[in-house]
Amino acid sequence: MPVRLIVVLLMLLLGLAACQERRPYAERMASVCQFEACSCLRKGRLIRTDKQPVKWRANGQAYCPEGYRIERDRFRGDP
């Protein structure tokens, strides 16, 4: 009997974890950029040549201008 109960509880926990709402990528990165170096890259570009610095909202979250996406800098020495 206890084994069945444990199995049922584990399945319930897995079901609840799968239903958890995920925040959009840009929203998650806005929080990450408070602690790590980030840049704005033009959307759709694979080459990281068109970089702009992130902009900051009054609430402390980072964001990018229209047409750019926020990305974490791979190396601390990136310009």
Which range marks the domain in which residue 31 is found? 25-79
Are the beta carbons of 54 and 38 closer than 8 angstroms?
Answer: yes
pTM of model > 0.85: no
Asked if the model's pLDDT at residue 21 lies above 70, the reply is no
| β-pair type (55-56, 51-53) | unpaired
Q: Quote the pLDDT of residue 55.
A: 92
Asked if the model's pLDDT at residue 70 lies above 70, the reply is yes
Q: Quote the pLDDT of residue 27.
A: 75
Across 17-28, average pLDDT: 67
Distance CA 26, CA 32 (A): 10
Helices (H), the chain: 2-18, 25-32
Residue 7 is assigned to a structural domain of this protein: no
Q: Which residue shows structure tokens 């319930």? A: 12
Residue 30 is assigned to a structural domain of this protein: yes
Please count the structural domains in the chain.
1
